[in-house]
Amino acid sequence: MRYVFRRRENDKKPFLLAGAPPTTCLHHYIKSSSTVREKTERISLATAKITDGQGTMEALVCEKLGDPATAIGEGSPIVLRKNHPVPPLDSPTAVRVRVKATSLNFANYLQVLGKYQEKPPLPFIPGSDYAGVVDAVGSGVSLFKVRDHVCSFAALGSFAQFIVADQSELYLVPKECDLVAAAALPVAFGTSHIALVHRAQLGPGQVLLVLGAAGGVGLSAVQIGKIRGAIVIAVARGEEKIQLLRSMGVDHVVDSTKEGVTVSVKNFLKSRKLKGVDVLYDPVGGKLTKESLKLLNWGAQILVIGFASGEIPLIPANIALVKNWTVHGLYWGSYKIHRPPVLEDSLKELLSWMARGLITIHISHTYSLSEAGLAFAAIKERKAIGKVMITIDDASHSRSKL
């Protein structure tokens, strides 16, 4: 398995309330247990954690809503706590993971801003997809053992040295896979895989148009499109991003800073004797969506992934009716609640592809916990070509590598 670092110029289960003391956690677990046996097991597990010599950890805590793309310190909505309580094993099937790397997504940035659809109570530890090494397991865990490499997705909590998850929520990372790369996999590649494979059922010879193609989800959509045998058209901004996409074998690349998307794509379609775009993958929204709708074929599918432009587009229902378009909204995280088997099958296939070298994780920047402000800035200012990561144990300073 390979993952790529790229240099940027001029870069220098129950929700655990952040800051809750271990005794508070104990009282919560006792109160929520339904039997004496469960109470006893939970007390034993939590007490073991408190006295095992690893009772505190470093964690990024959001104490107020605001822009996190600033240096951590006075005025920042996030603070680095060096003595935050390590989360205890909260059930017999709980697994504690020592986080090696965690991925930043645009959703994490929006959540700290207070503009995401899910608004946890303050204070909270942000962070979603992560990978690491199993540190401890509950008495009922049968799927994992200490020192196993795993990855997962959490609603909150991965911007810390440790996180606890139920064994059913973890995925074994093959030894061939790098943990930093695995941490970048769940949300970005998971979103594109479910969108293109499960929802749109993209097939050989179909035309796929990917907007925002040099971002985390965009690059994953491009790669999955090629694996599925589609004709891939990618839209991005700037020469460095364009060159990367061309190196990946994309059939046609549009630099939207230099040419009109509609004209460029129409010329390409005409040269290939193609009628139009069959699947639109849109994490951008705004004017670019409106322009792209002019390129869609009869019976096309629109995948609404996000609104990185900050503008929610209007898709005219009358045109969708006449042209028999299908519009898919894709909120990847909700599959964990409503369709867990789909999510599980998707991540297992992606990990298999990763182990076989079929997909490449492009990592633009890595930072330590103390440099989270720089990481958020890279997301906000769209500096990244690919993924922005926080590495924890062995990351004492920020790195942007080639």
pLDDT in tens, the chain (402 residues): 444 444 443 444 333 333 333 333 333 332 333 333 343 333 334 333 433 435 999 999 999 999 999 888 778 999 999 999 999 999 999 999 999 999 998 889 999 999 888 899 999 999 999 999 999 999 999 999 999 999 999 999 999 999 999 999 999 999 999 999 999 999 999 999 999 999 999 999 999 999 999 988 999 999 999 999 999 999 999 999 999 999 999 999 999 999 999 999 999 999 999 999 999 999 999 999 999 999 999 999 999 999 988 899 999 999 999 999 999 999 998 998 899 999 999 999 999 999 999 999 999 899 999 999 999 999 888 878 889 999 997 433 344 432
pLDDT score recorded for residue 71: 82
Domains and CATH numbers, the chain: 3-183+364-391 (3.90.180.10), 187-334 (3.40.50.720)
pLDDT score recorded for residue 179: 96
pLDDT score recorded for residue 49: 40
pLDDT score recorded for residue 54: 58
Is 166 exposed, middle or buried (CB count within 10 Å of its CB: 0-12, 13-18, 19+)? middle
pLDDT score recorded for residue 331: 92
pLDDT score recorded for residue 13: 37
Cα distance between residue 169 and residue 16, in whole Å:
17
pLDDT score recorded for residue 386: 85
